[in-house]
């Protein structure tokens, strides 16, 4: 199927750039060919957003909130269509795809509630007859560069706060999974009356993203993706002093204390490692287990992994394919490096055999034992269904291994002991910590990485305020 990949000023246009071919990761069949945006069309999208910015900023906040609610209604009404699209282009299991669509809807509904809650301040002046007014105002134009693993949820995570605070937006989805975003824009265009230029779309690869960032026409670039790409975004944005918000992945440790309830801990880590085939930035990428329970945990976890069914994500399988050949190559390279460095494969470690896996980007869920903290499998983001397990002797040892990382997005701790949990939360150098539960952040909390996992952050009050700036007015009335 062919799609137009450019939506500018409320009008669909055929892209003048190279076509983007979208493949089904289950069988490598062609889902869509999308004509991507040319450099000139990227510039046109930014210019349209700039023209629309003053009018949208002056639109009453309540009206902006009502638009977000109507956008959420559109997602809700077409949730099955959008979920099916995610199953096909991302390879998500049907239940996970439905969950992502619901998550996308919730981002819009939550942020809509900020329409009449954005507050400034009035301060006393430091001279007689004066007051100081601090106003929260929009930044202007927001460029939202979205990832392939949660294309709709991350899109709405950025759209919600950007639009409700009065910014206009240019969206660039990942060239790997753009179809769901194009479909959602089509639905918005058909069912809503969005002012021209407020919401714009350009489909394209790295060149389109580079054009957006280097142009200097965006007032904020919010990017979710790979660490090295995020660094390039920050470097390019710095030339024009463009603000950036970066969420760049992680290498989340899961610390299993000796008193952890393994009946709950094993399933929780299994889910935290294998949701979306392990292609989640908050995934439990390394598991640190107290030696008192190391053997029992490992036996239970390996048995649970072996029981997982790999297959059609639209059916009842527990695990679907990886998203692309590039991601499959990355996982295979990580496994090969771990074996070469001396780690022991406890299960998996290869592509599955059988007629159902002759094509597509399939990889067996894999568990490693005999792992040391210095191995690459413990230090570099795998982004696939691979679990290294390491034993530790005491909490200081576990915390040292967990914090010895360039990443600082998410971490997990499983324990019944209050002092162990509190010390772990206090000393872990991560922006987001899960205690006795699996992954899944809340729309009203805050999602932000430390270290090389990013800067800025999304969600909740502080995520909303990141899309604003403060204007100060001194009022002399005497």
- Per-residue pLDDT averaged across 238-246, rounded? 97
Residues 445-473: tens digit of each pLDDT: 999 999 999 999 999 999 999 999 999 99
pLDDT band at 260 (very low <50, low <70, confident <90, very high): very high
Answer left, alpha or beta for residue 454, where phi above 0 means left and psi between -120 and 50 means alpha: left
Look at residue 1 and tell me whether its pLDDT is greater than 80: no
Q: Taken in order 241, 219, 146, 8, is the CA torsion positive or negative?
A: negative
pTM attached to this predicted model:
0.96
Look at residue 24 and tell me whether its pLDDT is greater than 90: yes
* pLDDT on residue 128: 93
φ, ψ for residue 246, nearest 5 deg: -125, 130
Contact 203, 174 (CB under 8 A): no
Half-sphere exposure of 55 (CA within 13 A, CB side): 11
Residues 8-19: tens digit of each pLDDT: 999 999 999 999
Q: Cα 131 vs. chain centroid, distance in angstroms? A: 42
* pLDDT on residue 249: 92
Of 166, 169, 203, 201, residue with least CA distance to 187? 201
Q: DSSP H helical segments within 341-417, as ranges?
A: 395-403
* pLDDT on residue 3: 84
Of 408, 416, 410, 452, residue with least CA distance to 432? 410
Distance, CA of 151 to CA of 443 (rounded, Å)? 16
* pLDDT > 90 fraction of the chain, expressed in percent and rounded: 98
- Per-residue pLDDT averaged across 279-308, rounded? 98
* pLDDT on residue 354: 87
- Chain mean pLDDT for the chain: 97
Is 247 annotated in the active site?
yes
Distance, CA of 58 to CA of 56 (rounded, Å)? 5
Q: What percent of the chain is helix, strand and coil (3-state, nearest 5)?
A: 40, 25, 35
Answer left, alpha or beta for residue 196, where phi above 0 means left and psi between -120 and 50 means alpha: beta
Distance, CA of 35 to CA of 42 (rounded, Å)? 13
Judging by beta carbons within 10 Å of its beta carbon (0-12, 13-18, 19+), is residue 392 exposed, middle or buried? buried
Longest dimension (CA), the chain: 84
Look at residue 259 and tell me whether its pLDDT is greater than 70: yes
From the candidates 89, 96, 217, 247, give the one annotated as an active-site residue. 247
pLDDT band at 355 (very low <50, low <70, confident <90, very high): confident
Residues 366-406: tens digit of each pLDDT: 999 999 999 999 999 999 999 999 999 999 999 999 999 99
Structural tokens at position 88:
């096909």
Look at residue 349 and tell me whether its pLDDT is greater than 80: yes
- Per-residue pLDDT averaged across 427-449, rounded? 96
Residues 133-150: tens digit of each pLDDT: 999 999 999 999 999 999
Q: What domains appear along the chain, each with residue ranges and CATH number?
A: 2-248+453-476 (3.40.605.10), 252-442 (3.40.309.10)
Residues 37-64: tens digit of each pLDDT: 999 999 999 999 999 999 999 999 999 9
* pLDDT > 70 fraction of the chain, expressed in percent and rounded: 100
Distance, CA of 353 to CA of 183 (rounded, Å)? 35
Look at residue 316 and tell me whether its pLDDT is greater than 90: no
Judging by beta carbons within 10 Å of its beta carbon (0-12, 13-18, 19+), is residue 275 exposed, middle or buried? buried
pLDDT band at 183 (very low <50, low <70, confident <90, very high): very high
Look at residue 280 and tell me whether its pLDDT is greater than 90: yes
């Amino acid at each position: 199927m062919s799609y137009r990949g450019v939506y500018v000023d409320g009008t669909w246009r055929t892209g003048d750039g190279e076509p983007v071919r979208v493949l089904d990761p289950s069988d490598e069949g062609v889902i869509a060919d999308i004509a991507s945006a040319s450099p000139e069309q990227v510039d046109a999208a930014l210019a349209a957003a700039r023209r629309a910015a003053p009018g949208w900023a002056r639109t009453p906040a309540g009206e902006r909130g009502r638009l977000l609610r109507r956008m959420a209604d559109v997602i809700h009404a077409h949730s099955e269509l959008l979920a099916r699209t995610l199953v096909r282009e991302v390879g998500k299991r049907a239940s996970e795809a439905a969950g992502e669509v619901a998550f996308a809807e919730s981002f819009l509904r939550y942020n809509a509630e900020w329409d009449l809650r954005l507050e400034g301040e009035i301060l006393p002046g430091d001279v007689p007859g004066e007051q100081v007014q601090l106003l929260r105002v929009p930044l202007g134009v927001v460029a939202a560069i979205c990832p392939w693993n949660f294309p709709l949820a991350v899109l709405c995570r950025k759209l919600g706060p950007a639009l409700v605070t009065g910014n206009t937006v240019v969206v660039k989805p990942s060239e790997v999974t753009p179809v769901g975003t194009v479909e959602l824009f089509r639905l918005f265009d058909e069912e809503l009356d969005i002012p021209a230029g407020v919401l714009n779309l350009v489909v394209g690869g790295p060149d389109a993203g580079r054009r957006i960032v280097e142009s200097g026409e965006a007032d904020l670039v919010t990017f979710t993706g790979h660490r090295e790409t995020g660094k390039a975004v920050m470097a390019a944005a710095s030339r024009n002093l463009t603000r950036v918000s970066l969420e760049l992945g992680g290498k989340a440790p899961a610390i299993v204390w000796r008193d952890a309830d393994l009946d709950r801990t094993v399933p929780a880590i299994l889910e935290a490692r294998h949701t979306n085939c392990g292609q989640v930035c908050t995934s439990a990428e390394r598991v640190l287990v107290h030696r008192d329970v190391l053997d029992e945990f490992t036996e239970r976890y390996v048995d649970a992994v072996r029981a997982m069914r790999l297959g059609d994500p639209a059916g009842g399988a527990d695990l679907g394919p990886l998203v692309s050949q590039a991601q499959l190559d990355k996982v295979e390279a990580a496994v090969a490096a771990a074996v070469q460095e001396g780690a022991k494969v406890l299960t998996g470690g290869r592509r599955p055999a059988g007629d159902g896996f002759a094509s597509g980007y399939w990889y067996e869920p894999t568990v490693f034992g005999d792992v040391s903290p210095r191995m690459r499998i413990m230090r570099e983001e795998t982004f696939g269904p691979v679990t290294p397990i390491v034993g530790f002797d005491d909490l200081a040892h576990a915390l040292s291994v967990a914090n010895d990382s360039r990443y600082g997005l998410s971490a997990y701790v499983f324990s019944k002991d209050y002092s162990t949990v509190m010390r772990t939360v206090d000393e872990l150098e991560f922006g987001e910590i899960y205690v006795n539960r699996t992954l899944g952040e809340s729309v009203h909390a805050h999602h932000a990485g430390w270290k090389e996992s990013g800067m800025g952050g999304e969600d909740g009050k502080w995520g909303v305020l990141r899309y604003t700036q403060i204007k100060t007015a001194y009022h002399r009335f005497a």
